[in-house]
Structure 1
Amino acid sequence: MRLFVTGPTGSGKSTLAAKLAQRTAVPLFPLDEIHWVRCLSGDRRRDPAERLSMLGEIVQLDAWVIEGVQFRWTDIAMERANRIVILDPPRWRTITRILRRFVNRRRFSGAGHRGTVKALLEELRWSADYYGHERRMLFDTIGQWSDKIIVVRDDKGERALIEAVSETA
Protein backbone atom coordinates (compact mmCIF):
# COMPACT_ATOMS: atom_id res chain seq x y z
CA MET A 1 0.00 0.00 0.00
CA ARG A 2 1.27 3.45 -0.94
CA LEU A 3 -0.60 6.44 0.54
CA PHE A 4 0.11 10.12 0.04
CA VAL A 5 -1.56 12.30 2.71
CA THR A 6 -1.72 16.06 2.26
CA GLY A 7 -3.67 19.10 3.41
CA PRO A 8 -3.13 22.43 5.15
CA THR A 9 -1.11 23.15 8.26
CA GLY A 10 -3.16 22.08 11.28
CA SER A 11 -5.43 19.68 9.38
CA GLY A 12 -4.22 16.55 11.18
CA LYS A 13 -2.02 15.10 8.43
CA SER A 14 0.68 13.81 10.76
CA THR A 15 -1.79 12.23 13.16
CA LEU A 16 -3.81 10.56 10.42
CA ALA A 17 -0.72 9.38 8.54
CA ALA A 18 0.71 7.85 11.74
CA LYS A 19 -2.55 5.98 12.35
CA LEU A 20 -2.65 4.72 8.77
CA ALA A 21 0.99 3.63 8.85
CA GLN A 22 0.45 1.82 12.15
CA ARG A 23 -2.72 0.08 10.95
CA THR A 24 -1.10 -1.07 7.73
CA ALA A 25 2.36 -1.77 9.22
CA VAL A 26 4.12 0.29 6.54
CA PRO A 27 6.81 2.94 7.04
CA LEU A 28 5.84 6.58 7.50
CA PHE A 29 7.79 9.36 5.78
CA PRO A 30 7.01 12.96 6.80
CA LEU A 31 7.82 15.37 3.98
CA ASP A 32 9.01 17.93 6.53
CA GLU A 33 11.99 15.66 7.24
CA ILE A 34 12.84 15.70 3.54
CA HIS A 35 12.05 19.38 2.93
CA TRP A 36 13.89 20.79 5.97
CA VAL A 37 17.36 20.34 7.41
CA ARG A 38 16.87 20.61 11.17
CA CYS A 39 19.32 22.98 12.87
CA LEU A 40 19.49 24.35 16.39
CA SER A 41 19.85 27.83 14.93
CA GLY A 42 16.70 27.34 12.86
CA ASP A 43 15.62 25.00 10.11
CA ARG A 44 16.75 25.59 6.55
CA ARG A 45 15.30 24.33 3.32
CA ARG A 46 17.07 21.35 1.81
CA ASP A 47 18.48 21.71 -1.70
CA PRO A 48 15.69 20.84 -4.20
CA ALA A 49 17.80 18.24 -6.04
CA GLU A 50 18.68 16.53 -2.75
CA ARG A 51 15.07 16.36 -1.55
CA LEU A 52 13.87 15.00 -4.90
CA SER A 53 16.57 12.35 -4.74
CA MET A 54 15.49 11.39 -1.21
CA LEU A 55 11.82 11.26 -2.23
CA GLY A 56 12.71 9.24 -5.33
CA GLU A 57 14.31 6.56 -3.17
CA ILE A 58 11.32 6.40 -0.85
CA VAL A 59 8.69 6.05 -3.59
CA GLN A 60 10.53 3.05 -5.02
CA LEU A 61 9.68 1.08 -1.89
CA ASP A 62 6.77 -1.34 -2.16
CA ALA A 63 4.79 0.25 0.68
CA TRP A 64 4.77 3.64 2.39
CA VAL A 65 2.74 6.46 3.83
CA ILE A 66 4.08 9.89 2.88
CA GLU A 67 2.57 12.93 4.53
CA GLY A 68 3.01 16.65 4.24
CA VAL A 69 1.63 19.93 3.02
CA GLN A 70 4.24 20.01 0.24
CA PHE A 71 2.76 19.16 -3.13
CA ARG A 72 4.63 21.32 -5.62
CA TRP A 73 7.62 18.96 -5.80
CA THR A 74 6.00 15.63 -4.91
CA ASP A 75 4.48 14.52 -8.23
CA ILE A 76 6.60 11.36 -8.20
CA ALA A 77 4.97 10.33 -4.91
CA MET A 78 1.43 11.17 -6.02
CA GLU A 79 1.95 9.34 -9.29
CA ARG A 80 3.17 6.19 -7.54
CA ALA A 81 0.62 6.32 -4.71
CA ASN A 82 -2.32 3.92 -4.66
CA ARG A 83 -4.37 6.63 -2.94
CA ILE A 84 -3.97 10.38 -2.45
CA VAL A 85 -5.69 11.50 0.73
CA ILE A 86 -6.50 15.18 0.98
CA LEU A 87 -7.55 16.54 4.33
CA ASP A 88 -9.86 19.44 3.54
CA PRO A 89 -11.33 20.76 6.81
CA PRO A 90 -12.83 24.24 7.11
CA ARG A 91 -10.26 26.93 7.84
CA TRP A 92 -11.62 27.66 11.33
CA ARG A 93 -10.82 24.09 12.32
CA THR A 94 -7.19 24.31 11.22
CA ILE A 95 -6.75 27.64 13.01
CA THR A 96 -8.15 26.09 16.18
CA ARG A 97 -5.71 23.18 15.88
CA ILE A 98 -2.76 25.50 15.21
CA LEU A 99 -3.60 27.52 18.32
CA ARG A 100 -4.10 24.39 20.45
CA ARG A 101 -0.81 22.95 19.23
CA PHE A 102 0.97 26.21 20.09
CA VAL A 103 -0.44 26.21 23.63
CA ASN A 104 0.58 22.55 24.09
CA ARG A 105 4.08 23.23 22.81
CA ARG A 106 4.44 26.11 25.25
CA ARG A 107 3.02 24.16 28.16
CA PHE A 108 4.77 20.82 27.68
CA SER A 109 8.06 21.60 25.97
CA GLY A 110 8.71 25.25 26.71
CA ALA A 111 9.00 27.75 23.91
CA GLY A 112 11.46 25.54 22.06
CA HIS A 113 11.90 25.78 18.36
CA ARG A 114 8.24 25.58 17.29
CA GLY A 115 6.68 26.96 20.46
CA THR A 116 7.50 30.60 19.78
CA VAL A 117 5.11 33.37 18.82
CA LYS A 118 7.16 33.74 15.63
CA ALA A 119 6.48 30.07 14.77
CA LEU A 120 2.78 30.50 15.58
CA LEU A 121 2.52 33.49 13.25
CA GLU A 122 4.37 31.55 10.57
CA GLU A 123 1.89 28.66 10.80
CA LEU A 124 -1.06 31.05 10.68
CA ARG A 125 0.47 32.66 7.57
CA TRP A 126 0.92 29.22 5.99
CA SER A 127 -2.74 28.52 6.72
CA ALA A 128 -3.81 31.79 5.11
CA ASP A 129 -1.65 31.06 2.05
CA TYR A 130 -3.12 27.58 1.74
CA TYR A 131 -6.74 28.69 1.89
CA GLY A 132 -5.98 31.83 -0.11
CA HIS A 133 -4.48 30.15 -3.18
CA GLU A 134 -2.53 26.93 -2.56
CA ARG A 135 -5.66 24.85 -1.99
CA ARG A 136 -6.83 25.62 -5.53
CA MET A 137 -3.33 24.86 -6.86
CA LEU A 138 -3.39 21.49 -5.06
CA PHE A 139 -6.75 20.49 -6.48
CA ASP A 140 -5.65 21.59 -9.96
CA THR A 141 -2.43 19.57 -9.63
CA ILE A 142 -4.06 16.35 -8.46
CA GLY A 143 -6.80 16.42 -11.06
CA GLN A 144 -4.69 14.16 -13.25
CA TRP A 145 -4.95 11.45 -10.59
CA SER A 146 -8.68 11.83 -9.89
CA ASP A 147 -9.19 8.05 -9.70
CA LYS A 148 -6.88 7.90 -6.64
CA ILE A 149 -8.20 10.84 -4.64
CA ILE A 150 -9.96 10.57 -1.29
CA VAL A 151 -11.07 13.88 0.22
CA VAL A 152 -11.61 13.89 3.98
CA ARG A 153 -13.42 16.90 5.41
CA ASP A 154 -14.28 15.85 8.97
CA ASP A 155 -13.67 13.32 11.75
CA LYS A 156 -16.35 10.98 10.43
CA GLY A 157 -14.60 10.80 7.05
CA GLU A 158 -11.28 10.24 8.77
CA ARG A 159 -12.66 7.33 10.83
CA ALA A 160 -14.19 5.78 7.71
CA LEU A 161 -10.87 6.05 5.88
CA ILE A 162 -8.94 4.43 8.74
CA GLU A 163 -11.46 1.61 8.87
CA ALA A 164 -11.36 1.06 5.09
CA VAL A 165 -7.57 1.05 5.00
CA SER A 166 -7.43 -1.33 7.97
CA GLU A 167 -9.71 -3.78 6.18
CA THR A 168 -7.54 -3.83 3.05
CA ALA A 169 -4.23 -4.12 4.91
Structure 2
Amino acid sequence: MRVFVTGPTGSGKSTFAGRVADGAALPLYSLDDIHWVKQPGGDRRRAPDERLAMLLSLVQQGGWVIEGVQFKWADPALDSADKIVVLDIPRWSNTLRILRRFARRRRASKENPRATWTALREELRWSSDYYRYERALLFEKLARYREKVIEIHDERTLRRALAHTIVATAIGQPANLPA
Protein backbone atom coordinates (compact mmCIF):
# COMPACT_ATOMS: atom_id res chain seq x y z
CA MET A 1 0.00 0.00 0.00
CA ARG A 2 1.23 3.50 -0.85
CA VAL A 3 -0.52 6.41 0.83
CA PHE A 4 0.14 10.11 0.31
CA VAL A 5 -1.27 12.40 3.04
CA THR A 6 -1.55 16.16 2.58
CA GLY A 7 -3.34 19.18 3.99
CA PRO A 8 -2.50 22.51 5.60
CA THR A 9 0.03 23.10 8.34
CA GLY A 10 -1.43 21.88 11.63
CA SER A 11 -4.20 19.74 10.11
CA GLY A 12 -2.93 16.49 11.64
CA LYS A 13 -1.05 15.07 8.63
CA SER A 14 1.89 13.74 10.63
CA THR A 15 -0.32 12.19 13.30
CA PHE A 16 -2.67 10.57 10.80
CA ALA A 17 0.15 9.37 8.54
CA GLY A 18 2.06 7.99 11.52
CA ARG A 19 -0.92 5.99 12.70
CA VAL A 20 -1.58 4.61 9.22
CA ALA A 21 2.11 3.69 8.85
CA ASP A 22 2.18 2.02 12.29
CA GLY A 23 -1.08 0.16 11.72
CA ALA A 24 -0.05 -1.03 8.28
CA ALA A 25 3.62 -1.68 9.22
CA LEU A 26 4.80 0.69 6.48
CA PRO A 27 7.70 3.13 6.49
CA LEU A 28 6.73 6.77 7.04
CA TYR A 29 8.40 9.64 5.23
CA SER A 30 7.89 13.36 5.74
CA LEU A 31 8.26 15.74 2.83
CA ASP A 32 9.64 18.25 5.34
CA ASP A 33 12.69 16.00 5.72
CA ILE A 34 13.17 16.06 1.95
CA HIS A 35 12.37 19.75 1.50
CA TRP A 36 14.56 21.11 4.32
CA VAL A 37 18.18 20.60 5.34
CA LYS A 38 18.29 20.98 9.13
CA GLN A 39 21.07 23.30 10.28
CA PRO A 40 21.90 24.82 13.68
CA GLY A 41 21.65 28.40 12.38
CA GLY A 42 18.35 27.75 10.63
CA ASP A 43 17.04 25.33 8.08
CA ARG A 44 17.61 25.83 4.37
CA ARG A 45 15.68 24.59 1.38
CA ARG A 46 17.16 21.63 -0.43
CA ALA A 47 17.91 22.11 -4.16
CA PRO A 48 14.97 20.97 -6.37
CA ASP A 49 17.00 18.30 -8.21
CA GLU A 50 18.21 16.86 -4.90
CA ARG A 51 14.63 16.83 -3.51
CA LEU A 52 13.37 15.04 -6.61
CA ALA A 53 16.13 12.41 -6.45
CA MET A 54 15.32 11.72 -2.79
CA LEU A 55 11.59 11.46 -3.49
CA LEU A 56 12.10 9.17 -6.48
CA SER A 57 14.15 6.77 -4.35
CA LEU A 58 11.33 6.59 -1.79
CA VAL A 59 8.42 6.07 -4.18
CA GLN A 60 10.16 3.10 -5.81
CA GLN A 61 9.73 1.12 -2.61
CA GLY A 62 6.96 -1.45 -2.37
CA GLY A 63 4.90 0.34 0.27
CA TRP A 64 5.04 3.61 2.16
CA VAL A 65 3.21 6.50 3.72
CA ILE A 66 4.43 9.94 2.63
CA GLU A 67 3.06 13.05 4.29
CA GLY A 68 3.49 16.75 3.75
CA VAL A 69 2.02 20.00 2.61
CA GLN A 70 4.55 20.28 -0.26
CA PHE A 71 2.37 18.96 -3.06
CA LYS A 72 3.75 21.18 -5.83
CA TRP A 73 6.86 19.05 -6.40
CA ALA A 74 5.50 15.70 -5.17
CA ASP A 75 4.19 14.38 -8.50
CA PRO A 76 6.18 11.12 -8.32
CA ALA A 77 4.52 10.31 -4.98
CA LEU A 78 1.08 11.36 -6.22
CA ASP A 79 1.51 9.24 -9.36
CA SER A 80 2.62 6.18 -7.37
CA ALA A 81 0.15 6.46 -4.48
CA ASP A 82 -2.70 3.98 -4.17
CA LYS A 83 -4.58 6.53 -2.08
CA ILE A 84 -4.18 10.28 -1.63
CA VAL A 85 -5.66 11.49 1.63
CA VAL A 86 -6.42 15.20 1.91
CA LEU A 87 -7.07 16.51 5.41
CA ASP A 88 -9.37 19.31 4.31
CA ILE A 89 -10.56 20.56 7.67
CA PRO A 90 -12.31 23.93 8.12
CA ARG A 91 -10.02 26.92 8.51
CA TRP A 92 -11.27 27.73 12.03
CA SER A 93 -10.53 24.15 13.13
CA ASN A 94 -7.06 24.30 11.60
CA THR A 95 -6.29 27.58 13.37
CA LEU A 96 -7.41 26.07 16.67
CA ARG A 97 -5.20 23.01 16.09
CA ILE A 98 -2.18 25.27 15.41
CA LEU A 99 -2.81 27.23 18.62
CA ARG A 100 -3.20 24.06 20.68
CA ARG A 101 0.00 22.59 19.23
CA PHE A 102 1.85 25.81 20.00
CA ALA A 103 0.62 25.73 23.61
CA ARG A 104 1.78 22.09 23.98
CA ARG A 105 5.19 22.99 22.57
CA ARG A 106 5.55 25.97 24.93
CA ARG A 107 4.62 23.88 27.95
CA ALA A 108 7.03 21.11 26.93
CA SER A 109 10.06 23.32 26.24
CA LYS A 110 10.55 26.96 25.45
CA GLU A 111 13.87 25.88 23.89
CA ASN A 112 11.99 24.20 21.02
CA PRO A 113 12.50 26.42 17.94
CA ARG A 114 8.85 25.76 16.98
CA ALA A 115 7.66 27.06 20.39
CA THR A 116 8.45 30.71 19.70
CA TRP A 117 6.00 33.48 18.94
CA THR A 118 7.77 33.93 15.60
CA ALA A 119 7.18 30.27 14.76
CA LEU A 120 3.50 30.59 15.69
CA ARG A 121 3.10 33.63 13.40
CA GLU A 122 4.87 31.71 10.64
CA GLU A 123 2.55 28.68 10.97
CA LEU A 124 -0.54 30.90 11.04
CA ARG A 125 0.74 32.66 7.89
CA TRP A 126 1.34 29.30 6.16
CA SER A 127 -2.17 28.23 7.10
CA SER A 128 -3.62 31.48 5.81
CA ASP A 129 -1.73 31.10 2.53
CA TYR A 130 -3.04 27.56 2.20
CA TYR A 131 -6.68 28.57 2.58
CA ARG A 132 -6.32 31.70 0.43
CA TYR A 133 -4.74 30.09 -2.64
CA GLU A 134 -2.74 26.88 -2.06
CA ARG A 135 -5.87 24.80 -1.39
CA ALA A 136 -7.30 25.67 -4.80
CA LEU A 137 -3.99 24.76 -6.45
CA LEU A 138 -3.94 21.45 -4.59
CA PHE A 139 -7.43 20.42 -5.68
CA GLU A 140 -6.70 21.53 -9.24
CA LYS A 141 -3.62 19.29 -9.25
CA LEU A 142 -5.51 16.38 -7.69
CA ALA A 143 -8.29 16.46 -10.31
CA ARG A 144 -6.38 13.95 -12.44
CA TYR A 145 -6.17 11.56 -9.47
CA ARG A 146 -9.87 11.80 -8.60
CA GLU A 147 -10.37 8.01 -8.31
CA LYS A 148 -7.78 7.67 -5.55
CA VAL A 149 -8.39 10.89 -3.59
CA ILE A 150 -10.05 10.74 -0.19
CA GLU A 151 -11.07 14.03 1.39
CA ILE A 152 -11.38 14.11 5.15
CA HIS A 153 -13.29 17.09 6.49
CA ASP A 154 -13.73 16.23 10.17
CA GLU A 155 -12.33 14.18 13.06
CA ARG A 156 -15.02 11.48 12.84
CA THR A 157 -14.22 10.73 9.21
CA LEU A 158 -10.53 10.80 10.06
CA ARG A 159 -10.96 8.16 12.79
CA ARG A 160 -13.15 5.99 10.52
CA ALA A 161 -10.59 6.07 7.69
CA LEU A 162 -7.78 5.24 10.08
CA ALA A 163 -9.63 2.32 11.68
CA HIS A 164 -10.57 0.91 8.27
CA THR A 165 -6.95 1.04 7.07
CA ILE A 166 -5.60 -0.71 10.15
CA VAL A 167 -8.23 -3.47 10.13
CA ALA A 168 -7.87 -4.10 6.38
CA THR A 169 -4.11 -4.33 6.67
CA ALA A 170 -4.28 -6.61 9.72
CA ILE A 171 -6.43 -9.16 7.84
CA GLY A 172 -4.31 -8.90 4.72
CA GLN A 173 -6.83 -7.10 2.55
CA PRO A 174 -6.17 -4.04 0.40
CA ALA A 175 -6.82 -0.94 2.47
CA ASN A 176 -9.43 0.69 0.29
CA LEU A 177 -10.01 3.69 2.52
CA PRO A 178 -13.63 4.77 2.77
CA ALA A 179 -14.56 8.01 1.07
> What is the match of residue 113 of structure 1?
113
> What is the match of residue 89 of structure 1?
89
> What is the match of residue 8 of structure 2?
8
Counterpart residue type for residue 154 of structure 2: D
**Native 8 Å contact 1:89 1:152 kept in 2:** yes
Aligned Cα root-mean-square deviation (Å): 0.8
> What is the match of residue 71 of structure 1?
71
> What is the match of residue 149 of structure 1?
149
Unaligned runs of 5+ in 2: 170-179
**Native 8 Å contact 1:42 1:113 kept in 2:** no
After TM superposition, list the pairs within 5 Å mapping 1:14-163 onto structure 2.
14-163=14-163
Deviation at 1:56, TM superposition (A): 0.3
Counterpart residue type for residue 124 of structure 2: L
What is the TM-score of this pair, normalised by structure 1?
Answer: 0.98
Listed one character per residue, the Cα deviations across residues 47-75 of structure 1 (whole Å, up to 9, x for unaligned) are 11101100000000000000000100001
* Structure 1 stretches of 4+ moved >4 Å: none
Compare 93-102 and 72-81 and name the one that shifted more: 93-102
For 1:119 and 1:20, how far apart are their aligned partners in 2? 28
Counterpart residue type for residue 6 of structure 1: T
**Native 8 Å contact 1:2 1:65 kept in 2:** yes
> What is the match of residue 172 of structure 2?
none
For 1:118 and 1:110, how far apart are their aligned partners in 2? 12
Unaligned runs of 5+ in 1: none
Q: How many residues align?
A: 169
Listed one character per residue, the Cα deviations across residues 89-131 of structure 1 (whole Å, up to 9, x for unaligned) are 0001111111111111111021421111111111000000000
For 1:99 and 1:156, how far apart are their aligned partners in 2? 21
